Amino acid sequence: MNKMVKITIDGKTIDAEEGANLLQVARDNGFDIPGLCYYDKVSPTGACRLCLVKIKEQKGLIPSCTVKVSEGLNVTAFDEELEDVRRTIVELLISEHKLGCMTCDTASECALEDLAYRYNVTVDNLPFPVKTKYESIDDSSPVLAYDPNKCIVCGRCVKACYEIQGKGIIDFIGRGIETKIAPDLGVDWKNSACDGCGECIQACPVGALFEIPSVGKARKWEVEKIETICPYCGVGCRIEVEKKDNEIVRINGVDDGPANNGRLCVKGRFGYEYEMSNKRLRTPLIKENGKFREASWDEALTLTARKFSEIKKNYGGNSIAGLSSARCTNEENYIFQKFMRAVIGTNNVDHCARLCHASTVAGLARAFGSGAMTNSIRELEFADCILVTGSNTTETHPVIATYIKNAVLNHGAKLIVADPRKIDLVKYATLWLRQKNGTDVAWLNGIMNVILNENLHDKEFIKNRTEGFDEFRMVVENYTPERVEKITGVPKEKIIEAARIYGTAKNASIVFSMGITQHTTGTDNVLSTANLALLTGNVGKLYSGVNPLRGQNNVQGACDLGALPNVYSGYQKVTDPDIKKKFEEKWKVALDDKVGLSVVEMMNEAHKGNVKAMYIMGENPMVSDPNLNHVEEALKNLDFLVVQDIFLTETAQLADVVFPAYSSFEKSGTFTNTERRIQLLNPVLKAPEGAKEDWEIVQELALKMGYEMQYNNQSDIMEEIADVTPIYGGIHFYRLGKDGLQWPCKDENDPGTLFLHKGKFSRGLGHFSPVDYIPPAELPDKEYPYILSTGRILYHYHTGTMSRKVSVLNEYEPGPYAEISPELAAKLNLKDGEEVRITSRRGAIVTKARITARVAPDSVFIPFHFAEAAANRLTNDALDPIAKIPELKVAACKVEKM
């Protein structure tokens, strides 16, 4: 905080922070100076001129939004001349503004409308003729429209697009009275680079930019606004839902949302249509003779309880396995694993985190003692150097990407991207390393080799805070830039430059995701990132750390709450006798002390017939898991399969019993986002009649199976969680409020933890692991000559259960495709959009070719969202030996033109 100074506004003395924005200070002190272009989230523009003031001893009229407060400023905010000028500005703006307020969706929340009222400016008393010739509206984008006739050219959208979202797609075009805004220098919105995040709409003070799906749905004063958490990814954006008659009208980012600061992506803002889909499940289903029939809750629950009890009796609890859900709340995950462990009597509980960050949890736990993001999301904006590897952040964590872009564009940070694909962030990067898929240990070791050789390592930190440095050093010494170039294909000069950039940064942060974790060497990769941070002392402090980006909205929470085969909630080991005893006492039942089956292992055991029944809550392995043909056979081989979900997913179609559940718009409970922040949901809509909350279903099933479970609500469950889970010890619903709390939060008085390992690592000392490079399990050969990699795209989410039921998202990306390089396309004589068959040792799919230089010449990338051409029919289920994560990022394939 800067020092406080005294200023005077209209004779009143005010204490203000030196350097603060004068307009803001004036408004905070009750001087309602008008302004249209001022937007506190972006740099001041000084365009509308409404906030003009007079400052003693300064010439002319000065826009207060551009003035920084300094000692002794003597300001006139209101006098007749200033108000005359302001009225004239409003008159000028109204003279150019299409007065379509009667049908405008912004009416009543329009800043110009308010000013017209305040200054009594109407068409009748306007001293100028009103504009009558209108330009056409650009509504070519699937999600947003621009009406130039309502635009006041304040530039807030332009700055929001650049300074907040880091995209810079919108700018002014034209001159003089013709000036307006447009994407990409004046192309149609549809053909521009706009990705539909809608930040511009949120910034627009009038109705010039608006949401197409919301048009005509409700007047602003008819809607009820309820805040909750976005149902999509792990960023955990706080959203404000406007609803009318149990339908969502519009979604806005919440400005003081702790993770998103008002920002959203296209899915968060526009991806809600699925919620009102008529395909929602409304009643339990029982399969008879291969066909589903509707059933009562009692019948379905009784049947399930009977089947589970029988199988448990005949084959033991370990013949049943459960998949919990990264889409469900913390409370529901806790209840689900409790059900599997206490009622079924098995540790066979896992969830899709196995497929994304199992190696992170294993690797970072070994290196630091805790497997989560070390820092908070918004710290990224202030790092001097960010190394992003194996994360196409722009598409998978769009809001986090904006902070990375802010760091580069607004604060001059250096960005290093290491990725085999030329992802969007490469545009912002100082340096791009295009490594061969699966060679991450090698280039990371190469960078560390240079850092050591050039003496850029943090000797003090290594001495005081770490162990294992000497053994580690011996391995890294073998990775000279020359050798690394041979393994990875990254020129040695770039390895050296990366080492110098990262090694000399004051605050360096590593961001990684599935490109690092989904390998048979996933744990090794993670350990290497940890080594790099330890070597340079870039962990355990603000803005510096190792930050795995978690995928699903509550994948962090599902892990935290013990939906894993080896740990109870809070990463308490099932093999630890003391821990086991604690839970046995709490749950009043004997528990198993053996580690259970992981996702892929469950499928393997089901295939073999050792697992007889499965209970799947809110997951869709029939699209998400590797080697789908194998998964399909495994699930069909089960004696009994229960699925509970909001839609009849690909997996639910194979079930014997299906339970209809609530969506996150209908629930209370908590999600834990990727920065370890536990945030409270608010029920926004009434759930479809006939559905139940997931925890309720599990509880009723437990009761039917004779286990006493009596929670009244999710808050009750959280009380139990806090009781048995040290890192959640201080979490109670009443404490969460708008900002939530970040674990570790040990007790009632603990404010939570912004960044981890300050002063001391969770495990004591940071541990260096000597890691050698091991090639991927499957490499291209003569028959399968290309490298196949899979991943996500911006417009769809995971298995598409939600996003593919949203028409505007389908408009952006309607179906499956494979990214194929121009080189490979030329070789196959392939044109953009033509069909190709892609085959691996495990299966084949037919999809459309998208020819793009994003992929390396000999590589193919397929988004895995699309069941009709499921990438996971091709992927390899070879596992990382420690984390049991499959190698989804590297497989060998062949490509044929159809």
Binding site for another protein (CB under 8 A): 44-50, 52, 60-61, 63, 66, 84-85, 88-89, 92-93, 95-96, 127-129, 153, 155, 171-172, 174-179
What does the alpha-carbon distance between residue 731 and residue 441 come to, in Å, rounded to a whole number?
A: 38
Tokens 């490979």 label which residue?
Answer: 824
Report the nearest approach of another protein to the CB of residue 170 (Å). 11
CB nearer another protein, residue 52 or residue 731? 52
Spell out where 430-501 has E strands.
431-433, 466-467
List CB contacts of 425: < 8 A, sequence separation 6 or more.
388, 392, 393, 394, 401, 404, 405, 415, 417, 419
Nearest one of 171, 181, 236 to 206, comparing CA atoms: 181
The upper half-sphere exposure of residue 517, i.e. CA atoms within 13 Å in the direction of its Cβ, equals 27
* Cα torsion through 695, 699, 701, 702, rounded to 10: 140
Chain mean position to CA 391: 11
Q: How far apart are CA 412 and CA 284, in angstroms?
A: 55
Alpha helices in 29-110 (DSSP H): 80-95
Angle at 812 between CA 806 and CA 815, to 5 degrees: 80
The residue type at 584: E
Minimum CB distance to another protein smaller for 406 or for 521:
406
Q: Compute the least distance from the CB of residue 131 to another protein, in Å.
A: 10
Smallest gap from Cβ 180 to another protein, in A, equals: 8
CA–CA–CA angle 691, 587, 643 (5° rounding): 30
What is residue 173's three-state secondary structure?
A: strand
- Beta carbon of residue 542, minimum distance to another protein (angstroms, whole number): 25
CB nearer to another protein: pick between 187 and 218: 187
Rounded least distance, CB 378 to another protein, Å: 24
Cα-based distances in Å from 650 to 182, 620, 622, 653, 868: 42, 7, 6, 5, 10
* CB 890, min distance to another protein, A: 39
Report in angstroms how near the CB of residue 148 gets to another protein at its nearest.
Answer: 12
Which one, 127 or 577, has the nearer CB to another protein? Answer: 127
Q: Which is nearer to another protein, 277 or 410 (CB)?
A: 410
Instruction: Specify the residue, 93 or 794, whose C-beta has the smaller distance to another protein.
Output: 93
Q: Where are the beta strands (DSSP E) in 52-127?
A: 52-55, 62-63, 74-76
DSSP state letter for 67: P
Residue 66: CB minimum distance to another protein, A: 4
Please, which residue, 52 or 441, has the CB nearer to another protein?
Answer: 52
Helix (H, G, I), strand (E, B) or coil at 29: coil
CB of residue 160 to another protein, shortest distance in Å: 16
In the complex, what is the shortest distance from the CB of residue 46 to another protein, in angstroms, rounded to a whole number? Answer: 5
CA distance linking residue 265 with residue 165, whole number of Å? 9
Q: Which is nearer to another protein, 161 or 628 (CB)?
A: 161
Closest to another protein by CB, 193 vs 898, is 193
Return the bridge partners of 844, or none. 839
Q: Which is nearer to another protein, 500 or 897 (CB)?
A: 500
d(CA 612, CA 633): 13
Q: What distance in Å separates the CA atoms of residue 174 and residue 600, rounded to the nearest whole number?
A: 58
- CA angle 23–27–33, rounded 5-degree value: 70
Q: How far is the CB of 450 from another protein (least distance, A)?
A: 25
C-alpha radius of gyration, the chain, whole number: 29
Q: Which is nearer to another protein, 95 or 852 (CB)?
A: 95
